[in-house]
Structure 1
Amino acid sequence: MKSIIRLSLLAILIIPQSVFTQTFSEQKLNAYYKQVIDTYNVPGLAVAIVTADSIILQNGYGYLSIDKRKPVNKNTLFGIASLSKTFTANIIAKAVAENKLSFDTCIKDILPNFKLYDSYVTQEITLRDALSHRTGLENFSGDLIWYGSTVTDSTIINRIRHLEPEHGFRTSFGYSNIMYLIAGIIIEKAYKKSYAEVLDSIILAPLKMEQSTSLHKEAMSNKNLAKPHIQFQGNTIKQPYLSWDNMQPAGGLFSNVEEMSHYIQMLLNSGSYKNKAIINSKYIKQLWQQQTPLNLSWLDKQLQTPINFKSYGMGWSLMDYNGHKAMYHSGGLDGMVSQMVIMPDQQTGAIFLANKTTAVPTVLMYDFLDRLVGKDTLQQYPERTYALLQKIKTPEVNKSNTYTAPKNYTSSFYCGNYYDSLVGETRIYQKNDSLFLEIKESNIFKGYLVKTDMLSFDLFWPDVPSLHKGNINFEVNGLGEIKGFTINLPNPDLHFNELHFSKKN
């Protein structure tokens, strides 16, 4: 009987390895990933697929940028953006294990100056609420406060009180970068070190993630750094890296697939790496418990993925795929996308990093899961997604023809200094033959105006080609004087509708 049991156990151990060998053939995957980035016109991609104790694949495809044909490899550094949130959540878990914090610690108890739109929410909101995106704010609410700007932590915290909620407190999902900044500030207070120092001492150094960094300047000096790209007017163009030094806990980390493999293996090994405990598994598991329901995405529905439920834990998205629980997270900079996923019951995980704004990392995650626990034949996610995307036409950005209104105010009528409670001082002035708008604290939101009506102008941001044309509408008082203006520029990530500029006398 004992010999039969031993043989049965041996079979269980052998079968997964043979499945990996067949499904994750390195040679076939290398050819496939090269084909995918060619199809999607992505300059470069890096991929790692790992088990708890071995490497199935670590490789790069394509190039660092379109103008420097240096190949991507497993050590190529990418901005991983919001994948940084999983690191921040894990540090919080470490602090909870050390009794420095509790997941249910009220933010107000640690940051007395913290204030939100509602006095009750201000008093009651906890780290758990912040980490699980259930504060009542809309997705990406307030990101214009800090994005492309040099404003400091204290300024950001002071201004979020002006953000109006989209949902009831603890009722709906509202993705918030700013709440992760606040989690990072609380980490600094708990450990009496900068966020970058805590990140390095608790996670990066123990995991031998020596090239990984949350410091923008340090990343920019790396000679093996992938460059961001976007699709603009039918062409792939390079984008400059924006510093996220004022938002490190939410999206400031740079890493590569070799070092992210160490991170995934730590998570698959219950918080240990190379037999050294990094984070107590009890608290990692709490991060992976459902906190906030999520809807299935448009892509999930179109591809008819075998996913019944999605939700968000603390720092992690959760889903079932063919009946298996998976933890995952994506990240996006302007011109760069990341996607990581782990499936604990299969003791396997993967990371996909692309240096272009693209769906490729997401659909390759689904392809990976399909190969891991799919049934019968592969679902061909990359091919089917590409066919879907070809049916969607990206709006073109066209210059508007100037329209002379019945009462054509002179340019000086619109010029002056304006103020908004979220982004601060703004100036409109004459520049050459055009009116020009400049948000003073921003490094990128500087645009020119083209008149379309008496009090309406088209707005173009030359330094942010990924943004489509916007529209400015001026408001006047009963005396015919400019009171202020609003910006109409629909965008899923940057909410210009949250801004209302008043003219300063």
Structure 2
Amino acid sequence: MKTFATAALVFLSALSATVFAAAPADPALDAVFNDAVARYKLPGLAVGIVRDGEIVYRRTSGEREVGTGEKIDADTIFKIASNSKAMTAAVLARLVDAGKLKWDDPVVKYLPDFRMFDPWVTQQLQVRDLLIHNSGLGAGAGDLMLWPEPNRFERADVLKGLGYLKPTYSFRSRYAYDNTLYIVAGEVAAKAGGAPYEELVRRELFQPLGLKRCRVGEWNRKEVGNVAQPHGWRDDRAVVVNADPETIQAIPMAAAGGIRCSLNDMLTWAQMWLQPDQRGLIGGKPWLSQAQRDAVWTAHTLMPLSKRMREWDNSHFSAYGYGWRLTDVDGTGKVSHTGTLSGMYSALTLLPQKKIGIVVLINADAEEARTVLTQALVKHFTAPTEKRGVAHYAEAIAREEHAATAASKLRDTSSRKPVAAGETKGRLGVYRDPWFGEVAICANPAGAVTFASAKSPTMTGAVMRVGERLLVDWDSDRMDTEAWLDFDTKAKPIRLTMAKTDPDADFSSDYEDLHFERIGDCR
């Protein structure tokens, strides 16, 4: 295992001869910012760049909530989603520095009741394995316990549910992104640190680093103020989805993706990583030892090197550290992560050799916008002579999507028709999956058949027929993709499995991991 800091960067530094002197923000950055807002009609955007320890670009636009006139600024709080993972890893690293745990400690040392599906894996799983996506679970396994939000799952449900999730691969054989084991990591930290996960994050990270606007756990939206709301799209317009209540509750997935921060906070976070000998000193002492900084940026698990990475960035490797993705772009090292939640997208990109950090926060479903904007900003520094902006990368994605559409296996479901109770003889009833809990497939007062989850209220919808198959047409547009329903009526009790109608849909819609058995009649 080579550390990103000592091996990959040594190789990459030989490839890169470009040096950037400190300078005021380039007007070209404004052009990238403006083009992204205009092309994608973003309700709100915050972008910041640090170089050589200083903030050289900081700009915001739009509203926290469309139609309110409340402007986004550098202190507006956004959901950073999976950028929380690096913070969870850093808390664990702090505990390693304090001698309270070791990376190769078995998880059961801290959580004796913890179980994976395979008893041998249960005993062999180390703290480090919780962070590097090599457990053997399929991508997104168990994510339906985390979202769509809100739901009624608790952290204990997630830990218990992991014991029922069958592995897709052998242990430590390959990379497959997961969120649920980060929740376990948060509980290990809590046990080793002697305080709840949320308290640890505040104590070990927010307070010493001065991340004044970051929030985790329960807090009051009105008291804190200046909070961006998530947006989706309806008739090509941004609309608020899943708006925050006045009291924002603690959520099970905090350690995987539940932290919120402002642009200023994220820039401070970036500065700490890029200048540990200055920004990373707390009371004259390192906030994190060099040994643990190296551990966090070590290439622990190899990741696939995509066609896009090779063609866009001339990348040579791709790997996952502790809460960070590691690769190279145009001959320089890149440490980064993205964050994705319904209605909120984030990206944090560090170019350590160039001492550059880039933060992008968007309060909308905006995957392409995040990709294009981040790419254009990174290339501004790694390949400035190419002068490739938003339009260039947007058009490249359009070509990719055209090719993907031509090869798509997505079945046409436009012939769907509502299913009446009489058409589902023997299949109506209450079903139970050991980790997801109960769902009811029952007739409503009008005689139409519906699907309703007990613990995930957003997962409700009409059961429809498409030819010989049944699917769920979800009521909420927060559901990423519809689901096929497949009944085995010959089994005793009757069994139900589900699958994405779009095989290429987001892995967090992990319907394929559900295995229901009928437990009773409709109530």
**TM-score of the pair, normalised by structure 1:** 0.88
Label 1:107 to 1:75 Cα distance change in 2 as closer, same or farther (>3 A). Answer: same
Q: 1:269 aligns with which of 268, 275, 279?
A: 275
1:36 positional shift: 1.2
| Aligned residue in 2 for 1:332 | 340
Determine the C-alpha separation between the residues in 1 that align with 2:485 and 2:179: 27
Label 1:385 to 1:238 Cα distance change in 2 as closer, same or farther (>3 A). Answer: farther
Q: How does 1:380-419 map to 2 (within 5 A)?
A: 380=389, 382-391=390-399, 392=401, 400-402=415-417, 409-410=422-423, 413-419=426-432
Label 1:258 to 1:16 Cα distance change in 2 as closer, same or farther (>3 A). Answer: same
1:451 aligns with 2:446: no
- 1:160 is aligned with what amino acid? L
| Aligned residue in 1 for 2:374 | 365
Label 1:453 to 1:199 Cα distance change in 2 as closer, same or farther (>3 A). Answer: same
Q: How does 1:101-500 map to 2 (within 5 A)?
A: 101-147=101-147, 148=149, 149-215=151-217, 217-219=219-221, 222-232=224-234, 234-241=236-243, 245-270=251-276, 273=279, 275-276=281-282, 277-301=286-310, 303-358=311-366, 359-374=368-383, 376-380=385-389, 382-391=390-399, 392=401, 400-402=415-417, 409-410=422-423, 413-433=426-446, 434-452=448-466, 456-477=469-490, 483-489=494-500, 490=503, 491-492=505-506, 493-500=508-515
Cα pair 1:404 1:452 within 8 Å, conserved: no
CA deviation string 1:263-292 (max 9, x = no partner): 111111227537423222320121101111
Determine the C-alpha separation between the residues in 2 that align with 1:339 and 1:236: 20
Label 1:245 to 1:176 Cα distance change in 2 as closer, same or farther (>3 A). Answer: same
CA deviation string 1:274-322 (max 9, x = no partner): 7423222320121101111111235425x53221211111111101112
Cα pair 1:80 1:338 within 8 Å, conserved: yes
1:412 positional shift: 6.6
1:378 positional shift: 2.3
RCO (CA 8 Å, sep 6+): is it higher in 1 or 2?
Answer: 2
Give the alignment's Cα RMSD to 1 decimal.
Answer: 2.6
1:16 aligns with 2:20: yes
Label 1:63 to 1:34 Cα distance change in 2 as closer, same or farther (>3 A). Answer: farther
1:410 positional shift: 4.9
| Aligned residue in 2 for 1:3 | none
Determine the C-alpha separation between the residues in 2 that align with 1:134 and 1:357: 28
Cα pair 1:244 1:251 within 8 Å, conserved: no
Higher mean C-alpha displacement, 262-271 vs 96-105: 262-271
1:411 positional shift: 5.6
Determine the C-alpha separation between the residues in 2 that align with 1:164 and 1:411: 29
Equivalent position SS for 1:418: strand
Determine the C-alpha separation between the residues in 1 that align with 2:419 and 2:90: 58
Cα pair 2:347 2:359 within 8 Å, conserved: yes
**TM-score of the pair, normalised by structure 2:** 0.85
Q: How does 1:11-160 map to 2 (within 5 A)?
A: 16-18=20-22, 20-21=23-24, 24-25=25-26, 27-147=27-147, 148=149, 149-160=151-162
Higher mean C-alpha displacement, 65-74 vs 235-244: 235-244
Cα pair 1:335 1:355 within 8 Å, conserved: yes
Higher mean C-alpha displacement, 56-65 vs 388-397: 388-397
Determine the C-alpha separation between the residues in 2 that align with 1:71 and 1:233: 23
1:503 aligns with 2:512: no
Cα pair 1:272 1:278 within 8 Å, conserved: no
Cα pair 1:437 1:446 within 8 Å, conserved: yes
Cα pair 2:493 2:519 within 8 Å, conserved: no
| Aligned residue in 2 for 1:9 | none
1:398 positional shift: 6.5
1:482 positional shift: 7.3
Higher mean C-alpha displacement, 198-207 vs 210-219: 210-219
Determine the C-alpha separation between the residues in 2 that align with 1:465 and 1:245: 18
Unaligned ranges ≥5, structure 1: 1-14
Determine the C-alpha separation between the residues in 2 that align with 1:53 and 1:410: 66
Cα pair 1:33 1:61 within 8 Å, conserved: no
Cα pair 1:444 1:464 within 8 Å, conserved: no
Label 1:403 to 1:37 Cα distance change in 2 as closer, same or farther (>3 A). Answer: closer
Equivalent position SS for 1:246: coil
Equivalent position SS for 1:245: coil
How many pairs does the alignment contain? 480
Determine the C-alpha separation between the residues in 1 that align with 2:63 and 2:433: 42
Structure 1's consecutive aligned runs of 4 or more residues displaced over 6 angstroms after TM superposition are: 393-398
Determine the C-alpha separation between the residues in 1 that align with 2:398 and 2:216: 36
| Aligned residue in 2 for 1:4 | none
Cα pair 2:376 2:393 within 8 Å, conserved: no
Label 1:231 to 1:390 Cα distance change in 2 as closer, same or farther (>3 A). Answer: farther
1:348 positional shift: 1.8
1:399 positional shift: 5.8
Cα pair 2:304 2:318 within 8 Å, conserved: yes
Label 1:469 to 1:150 Cα distance change in 2 as closer, same or farther (>3 A). Answer: closer
- 1:474 is aligned with what amino acid? F
1:449 positional shift: 1.1
Determine the C-alpha separation between the residues in 1 that align with 2:277 and 2:89: 13
Determine the C-alpha separation between the residues in 2 that align with 1:165 and 1:157: 15
Cα pair 2:183 2:256 within 8 Å, conserved: yes
- 2:264 is aligned with what amino acid? E
- 1:62 is aligned with what amino acid? G
Determine the C-alpha separation between the residues in 2 that align with 1:178 and 1:220: 30
